[in-house]
Amino acid sequence: MSNRRKSTPAIRIDNGSIGPYGARIAGVGHYVPDRVVTNADLAQIFKTSDEWIVTRTGMKERRWASPEMASSDLCIRAARHALERANLKPGDIDCYVVATVTPDYLFPATACIVASKLGAAGKPAFDIEIACSGFIYGLPMAASFIRAGVFKRVMLIGVETLSKIANMEDRGTAILFGDGAGATVVERTTAANDCFLSCELGADGSEPEILYQPAGGSREPVTAESIKLKRDKVHMSGREVFKIAVAKMADTAKTVLARAHLTTQDVRWVIPHQANLRIIEAAVKRLGIPRERVFVNIEKYGNTSAASIPIALSEMVEADRLKDGDLIIFTGFGGGLSWGSVAWRWSA
């Protein structure tokens, strides 16, 4: 056991009462569609350039799902990958949770479809919809279910098929988004080995129009007119989101460290939501964490919203970059507006 680990009490009580259980991540997996869309491809659709996109966002390419592929199809592939890594079967999972803003249908929940298609019909399943913060909200929730003894294993999947709601007439947003899914099996361990150290979550819905899909809900059902005006697609004030994102990622990361009685020196990895390289770099600068301790894969996938952090985590596992005892800060933000960070101890 490393010194870093020894200096940390076995269980934190910031997010719940002390019980006999702790939570750990037993397996992660991901899936991205085969179709690669480069910046040059986008420059064929509207007036943009590889130079502008790389300089302003750090993105070089992203993946887009085929027309017949829905979010649940991506989830299933990512879930199977995570189950395989955890050496588990779909029936070993007690609850399926999907975080997404691009569900198969407005209802029923995509998680119900995923669990059934995996052969686990009958298991509890539901979606959470908190945009790009989906994994950041979902992980503490899954860990809390487990700590409380409600479930032994929770499958948390972040998925998006944002290409389906991108406005191809708006170069300011259409370049940003990609499709993909990342799946995580969170499972019971002993309280002494609990990996969930602390979290800080927040939201402010006073100006939902900063980042939203105006038509399609109860406030503005879809009409022929709204389709014509692209109000069934993503609308965003990029600069507004940018400003808030940097501050919230850095500030909540500081809070979770303080709550867990840790410092930036203890952090081995920051795994941020992959929305914009400039946002990530500004946030970690404000946090005082060197760039080499920050995982970035935005150049390959663009912004995959709720899927970006679990895809990143899965790629880190694949590359064997996480060691037992590593302190990870997951941090993100998105529509809502919403934001948050989670301090998590990696258990191999």
Sites of contact with ligand UT7 (CB under 6 A):
48, 52-53, 56-57, 132, 171-172, 175, 211, 236, 238-239, 241-242, 245, 275-276, 303, 305, 334
CB of 8 or CB of 276, closer to ligand UT7:
276
To ligand UT7, the closest distance from the beta carbon of 321 in angstroms equals 24
Q: How far is CA 85 from the centre of its chain?
A: 19
- Of residues 176, 142, 175, 178, the one with CA closest to residue 160: 178
Known catalytic membership, residue 273:
yes
Around Cβ 95, how many Cβ atoms within 10 Å? 22
Around Cβ 333, how many Cβ atoms within 10 Å? 31
CB of 55 or CB of 223, closer to ligand UT7:
55
To ligand UT7, the closest distance from the beta carbon of 51 in angstroms equals 9
Instruction: Give every CB contact of residue 221 below 8 A, 6+ residues apart in sequence.
Output: 215
One of 75, 95, 132, 195 is an active-site residue; which one? 132
CB of 147 or CB of 273, closer to ligand UT7:
273
Gap between the Cα atoms of 111 and 156, Å rounded: 9
SS (HEC) of 225-268: HHHHCCCCCCEECHHHHHHHHHHHHHHHHHHHHHHCCCCHHHCC
SS (HEC) of 205-235: CCCHHHEECCCCCCCCCCCHHHHHCCCCCCE
Instruction: State the distance between the two ends of the chain, measured CA to CA, in whole angstroms.
Output: 12
Is 86 strand, coil or helix? Answer: helix
To ligand UT7, the closest distance from the beta carbon of 52 in angstroms equals 4
To ligand UT7, the closest distance from the beta carbon of 93 in angstroms equals 28
H helix and E strand count, the chain: 12, 13
CB of 181 or CB of 275, closer to ligand UT7:
275
CB of 8 or CB of 161, closer to ligand UT7:
161
Around Cβ 4, how many Cβ atoms within 10 Å? 16
Gap between the Cα atoms of 75 and 80, Å rounded: 8
Question: How far lies 1's CA from each of 6, 26, 94, 233, in Å?
Answer: 7, 19, 30, 50
Gap between the Cα atoms of 75 and 62, Å rounded: 17
Instruction: Give every CB contact of residue 218 below 8 A, 6+ residues apart in sequence.
Output: none
**Residue of this chain nearest to ligand UT7 (CB atom):** 238
To ligand UT7, the closest distance from the beta carbon of 98 in angstroms equals 18
What are 104's two structure tokens?
Answer: 């198969």
Known catalytic membership, residue 303:
yes
To ligand UT7, the closest distance from the beta carbon of 334 in angstroms equals 4
Known catalytic membership, residue 276:
no
Gap between the Cα atoms of 184 and 88, Å rounded: 12
To ligand UT7, the closest distance from the beta carbon of 39 in angstroms equals 9
CB of 253 or CB of 322, closer to ligand UT7:
253
One of 15, 81, 95, 273 is an active-site residue; which one? 273
Q: Active-site residue numbers?
A: 132, 273, 303
